[in-house]
Structure 1
Amino acid sequence: MDTVVARMRLLDETLPPGDGVAVFNRVYLAVTEAVDQRIGTGRGPGPGAAATLDVRFAERYLAAVDAADRGRRPPACWRPLFQLRRHPGVRPLQFALAGINAHLGHDLALAVVDACRTLDCAPGDLEDEFDRVGDLLTTLEERIREELMPGPDLLLLADPLTHLLSAWSLERARDATWSAARALWALRRVPDVAGEFTDRLDAAVGFAGRMMLTPLPR
């Protein structure tokens, strides 16, 4: 986990503050540093279960960053954020929530399967750890809204940002991710179907991210 945190700190130091990826990374890093101190308290299969899931989860975000930096295509779920990261019509709150959407909706389901293979267990054995990561993301979303939400005098009912925020639910996304993780595990011996399922999941999460990053008038 130390390596993951070090990579995120380096991104925080090198990316321009207004960059959309930097906006997400900054808040994600702060929450990860706080939660990292409590790793190991889960009730999963062995003391390394929490750390294994956390590392597999964060590595998928960092792999997307590496792909974009090297001119390769990141997963579809991350592409809208990387493509629009410098768009002047996209607000910081949109960048941050689009990052959560990609990381929760796609990366977490695959990270659960990765961790199960590493630990030789089934998703049900990691449900406590999944819930803990879900709590981390809830904390992350709350922090994003506290830091990046416009003041009540600015966030009016007529503001398009209000409608974007109300159209996406972290709780619904979290439930869908757990179902996706269980489905992928059940399909692990049918690789062609599992691959198609993964591609469809990636595309669907990417479509939602594209909508979240719709440029808005100020």
Structure 2
Amino acid sequence: MAQTQQTSRRTGRQIGPFVAVDPVVDRMRSLRAAWHPADGVAVFNRVYLTVTEEIGRAIESGTFADRRAAATLDVRFAQRYLAVVDAVATGCQAPACWRPLFHYRRHPGVRPLQFALAGINAHIGHDLALAVIDSCRTLGCAPTELEDEFDRVGDVLVLLEERIRDELMPGPDLLEVADPLTHLLGCWSLDRARDGAWLAARSLWQLRRLPDLAEEFTERLDRSVGLVGRMLLTPLARP
């Protein structure tokens, strides 16, 4: 994506080039090539790559009124996932929200759809709120000024979640109604996760001058999202 000058909707003045989406897309493509397709993190990476490519095309086509804000949010969001990948690769422990996915990534009893949704749960439930705060600091704005971009990105995620469910769990039919996976996935909603992320971002913004409380809030968010991820990765098939 080319970097272009743009007039800020907040100040009316020219601002610098927006953050390019291409580097994070390239990195996710390299991970896709390096990991075995059955690896649970690779399953999520393929899904997320599709999301990021879709949002990049939307930014390029002018779907977002403020391209710089949309690209900044998209890139800061992706960078949080890639930072976890890098940390784990160097032997560091993943955050609690990501830990179940990295721990169970090769478990033969966990299905691909579970891996995909566990990654989406960690990334939206925890990382998205922090990416909004990262973007606000980069752009010099409050979360309310990114609400349009947040909503449009969320709309793309909802459409892609539907596509993921169709591709990884075709149906429904009588067997799938009785399948434990159907009941497990019915306990999780992307819309609710997205709403929670927006509330968490607004809360963290209000707590920005109270670092101790902000840190405690972030840690509790991390742990609670991790518990949901562990539930989503309950082995359902015989190893």
TM-score by length of 2: 0.87
CA distance in 2, matches of 1:140, 1:99: 14
1:111 aligns with 2:131: yes
Distance 1:4 1:217 in 2: 34
Q: Give unmatched runs, 5+ long, in structure 1.
A: none
Of the three residues 179, 197, 200, the one matched with 1:177 is 197
Per the TM alignment, residue 27 of structure 1 is displaced from its structure 2 partner at its CA by 1.8
- Across the two proteins, how many residue pairs are aligned to each other? 216
1:137 is aligned to 2:137: no
Q: How much identity, in percent, do the aligned residues show?
A: 72
What is the match of residue 186 of structure 1? 206
Q: Give the counterpart letter for 2:190 in structure 1.
A: L
Q: Which moved more, 1:29-38 or 1:116-125?
A: 29-38
| Matched-pair contact (CA < 8 Å) for 1:98–1:212 | yes
Q: 1:70 aligns with which of 74, 90, 110?
A: 90
TM-score (norm 1): 0.95
Q: Name the larger-Rg structure.
A: 2
- 2:182 is matched with 162
Would you say the 8 A contact 1:155–1:162 is kept in 2?
no
Instruction: Indicate the SS of the match to 2:113.
Output: helix
Structure 2, unpaired ranges of 5+: 1-20
Task: Note if contact 2:55-2:153 (Cα within 8 Å) is conserved in structure 1.
Answer: no
Task: Specify the alignment match of 1:88 in structure 2.
Answer: 108
TM-fit CA distance, 1:41:
3.6
Q: RMSD between aligned alpha carbons?
A: 1.4
1:179-215, CA deviations, whole angstroms, 9 ceiling, x for partnerless residues? Answer: 0000000000000000000000000000000000000
Higher relative contact order structure (alpha carbons within 8 Å, sequence separation ≥ 6): 1
Q: C-alpha displacement at 1:132, in angstroms?
A: 1.4
Counterparts of 1:1-218 in structure 2, within 5 Å, are 1-39=21-59, 41-44=63-66, 47-153=67-173, 155-217=175-237
Instruction: Kindly state the Cα deviation for residue 217 of structure 1 after the two structures are TM-superposed.
Output: 2.9
SS at match of 1:157: helix
